[in-house]
Amino acid sequence: VAAPVSRTGRQRQRNARGQGARLTEDIVTGALTLIERAGSDEAVTLRAVAREVGIAAPSIYPHFADRDAIVMAAVLRIFDELTNAIVQGAAAAGPDPVDRLVGGCEAYLGYGLSHPARYGVLFSERRTSAGDYCEPVPLGPDGRPVLEFGAEAFALLVSAIQDCVKEGASDSTDVVADATAVWVALHGTVTLGTALPGFPWPAPAQFVRKFVLSLAHATVAQDHS
Amino acid sequence: VAAPVSRTGRQRQRNARGQGARLTEDIVTGALTLIERAGSDEAVTLRAVAREVGIAAPSIYPHFADRDAIVMAAVLRIFDELTNAIVQGAAAAGPDPVDRLVGGCEAYLGYGLSHPARYGVLFSERRTSAGDYCEPVPLGPDGRPVLEFGAEAFALLVSAIQDCVKEGASDSTDVVADATAVWVALHGTVTLGTALPGFPWPAPAQFVRKFVLSLAHATVAQDHS
DNA sequence: TGTACATCAGTGAACGCGCGTTCACTGATGTAC
DNA sequence: TGTACATCAGTGAACGCGCGTTCACTGATGTAC
């Protein structure tokens, strides 16, 4: 009987003593690979992950309690990727707050549409608070408790609109509600765009700019200066 | 060994000769029940449907080729329900085109949020054209070919905005693009609202009215008369 | 009017598969003495 | 310096389950003669 081999064909060698936690990382990576390959998290089974990583199925138990714990770890990683994409998109847009808002939103859309399987896992199940599946109250990078999935990305959106208001580029009177409207439209664009690739979608560039400006009650800098 | 009994406890009796097609209907109903109960279509397996309906599993084959065919039949039924809800919502809103537009959108949202499991199945998988799974080119009720899932509901939205433009209540210059933006926002509201029930969503009534009017470039009648 | 037969609507047992999970285990490596 | 031992990082076989699918079948009912 041959030893289990990962899909890549590479045989995994045992971690050195004290480095057992590396397998935790490999399991999450394997789960992400399966999600990418199958287009959904249904393919993430203990045995499939074990095959992908190149280990025996029971070897997962010291690292994760069950399938759900693996998926959750993958979800947290994907949220990090999404947040990073938004930050970079905003940063690349320059100093103007409206440009930064639109840049962040375009990055959100770009990440979602170019990683549909990963994005689809984020909100595929009912999620209440992060405290349900790991530490009682997980902390964000700034020490504040992260109470909701995607809260970090949403906070970026709120402050981007807030910045527009500060500089007179938006006359939003309810920044949180308007940020919610923008988020909902972005999310809908990603998920419908993924589910219905045959639909005659408008060109993303103008489309997103248009509805983001509209929902954020924002106007381009030239109109205000 | 006891004969298979449906979840309701009622024993199914064999259809009369010539009435075998009734089971087709019962199978779709059973699938919808499973979707409702589990919150997703994952629970729709041949054996689970058979148990639900109260028949032996192989009895499904003369009616449906496989699991996917059952789910597709359920999806078409759900699209019909959604379309009906929109039509009724618009009709109940009275003669004003903006009211009708908002009424239809509120009905869409209402259906989606009050039937999250059903709605979630509609766009849970990549859907190209209806021709992939049944007759080569299925026809809509008006005889035109139905090329996309949800095309009927989308057409309602387009014509609702078109009506606003006709009566001077909207200055949309691209009705299809604006309808797309509204649809995307509605879809995002339903799916995010379902996935994150703990999020502090704005009150649906004003929220939907606000973004629908904004995206459809519409204004209330008083402002225009 | 009777009767043989075809058809319809569905059954029951069986198969092989992948799954989660358990259990006792193995072999390398660091550490105490 | 040697050696016994504890620990770490996993393994391999086995279990019971639900699944899709197949196969030969059963029993009621309509129909031809």
d(CA A156, CA A126): 23
Considering only residues 75-104 of chain B, list those whose CB is below 7 Å from strand C.
none
B69 touches strand D (CB under 7 A): no
CA distance A197 to A167: 38
pLDDT at A20 (0 to 100): 81
- Residue B218 β-bridge partners: B170
Average pLDDT, chain B: 87
Q: How far apart are CA B150 and CA B168, in angstroms?
A: 28
Our measurement of the distance from residue A58's CA atom to the centroid of its chain's CA atoms, rounded to an integer in Å, reads: 29
Per-residue pLDDT band at B4 (split at 50, 70, 90): very low
Distance A41 CA to C14 C1' (A): 32
* B192 contact residues in A (CB cutoff 8 A): 123, 183-184, 187
**Percentage with pLDDT > 70 across chain B:** 84
Tokens matching residue A152: 């970090």
* B136 lies within 8 A of chain A by CB: no
Among B180, B187, B194, whose Cβ lies nearest the Cβ of A126?
A: B194
Both structure tokens of B98: 């903006």
Please state the φ and ψ torsions of residue B124, each to the nearest 5 degrees. -75, -20
Q: Determine the pLDDT at residue B222.
A: 57
The helix-helix angle for A97-114 and A67-91 (nearest 10°) equals 140
Quick one: pLDDT at residue A114? Answer: 97
Residue pointed to by tokens 């509209």: A214
Secondary structure of B82-94 as H, E, C letters: HHHHHHHHHHHCC
From residue B131, how far is each of B25, B66, B86 by CA, in Å?
A: 21, 16, 25
B168 touches strand C (CB under 7 A): no
- In B54-203, which residue ranges form alpha helices assigned H by DSSP? 67-92, 97-114, 116-122, 151-166, 175-195
- Beta-carbon contacts of A47 under 8 Å, excluding residues fewer than 6 positions away, are A57
pLDDT of B138 strictly over 50: no
CA atoms of A20 and A26, how far apart (whole Å): 11
pLDDT, tens digit (0-9, with 9 covering 90-100), for B16-71: 888 889 999 999 999 999 999 999 999 999 999 999 999 999 999 999 999 999 99
pLDDT at A221: 62
Whole-model pTM: value is 0.90
Task: Judge: A148–B196 Cβ closer than 8 Å, yes or no.
Answer: yes
Q: Predicted confidence band at B128 (pLDDT cuts at 50, 70, 90)?
A: low
Across the interface, which of A39, A187, A189 has its CB nearest the CB of B192? A187
Provide the pLDDT for residue B204. Answer: 87
- Would you say A106 and A89 are in contact if contact means Cβ atoms under 8 Å apart? yes
At residue A66, the pLDDT reads 95
Residues of B in contact with A186 (CB under 8 A): 188
Q: What is the mean pLDDT of residues B122-148?
A: 55
Confidence of residue B131 (pLDDT cuts 50, 70, 90): very low
Task: Give CA torsion, residues A149, A214, B84, B44, to 10 deg.
Answer: -20
- CB B16 under 7 Å to nucleic chain D: yes
**Distance from residue B140's CA to nucleotide D23's C1', rounded to whole Å:** 39
- Cβ distance B124 to A186 less than 8 Å, yes or no, reads no
B46 vs A155: CA distance, rounded Å: 44
A218 bridge partner residues: A170
Largest CA distance in chain A: 74
Residues of chain A with pLDDT under 50: 1-9, 130-146, 223-225
Contacts of B200 in chain A (CB under 8 A): 176
pLDDT digits (tens, 9 = 90+) for A130-158: 434 333 444 444 444 445 688 999 999 99
How many other CB atoms are there within 10 angstroms of residue B11's CB atom? 11
From the CA of B81 to the C1' of C9: give the distance in Å.
30
Higher pLDDT, B221 or B23: B23
Closest CA to A199 of A189, A209, A184: A189
With tokens 């969503």, the residue in question is B201
- Find the closest chain B residue to A126 by CA distance: B195
Rg (CA), chain A: 20
- Asked if the Cβ–Cβ distance from B211 to A181 is below 8 Å, we say yes
A122: number of CA atoms within 13 Å, CB side? 27
pLDDT at B216: 97
- Whether B114 shows a pLDDT value over 70: the answer reads yes
* Nearest nt (C1') from B53 Cα: C10
Single out the residue of B150, B128, B130, B180 nearest to residue A201, CA to CA: B180
CA B76, CA B150: separation in Å to the nearest integer? Answer: 9
A59 touches strand C (CB under 7 A): no
Could you tell me what percent of chain B has a pLDDT over 90? 73
The pair of structure tokens assigned to A113 is 């549409």
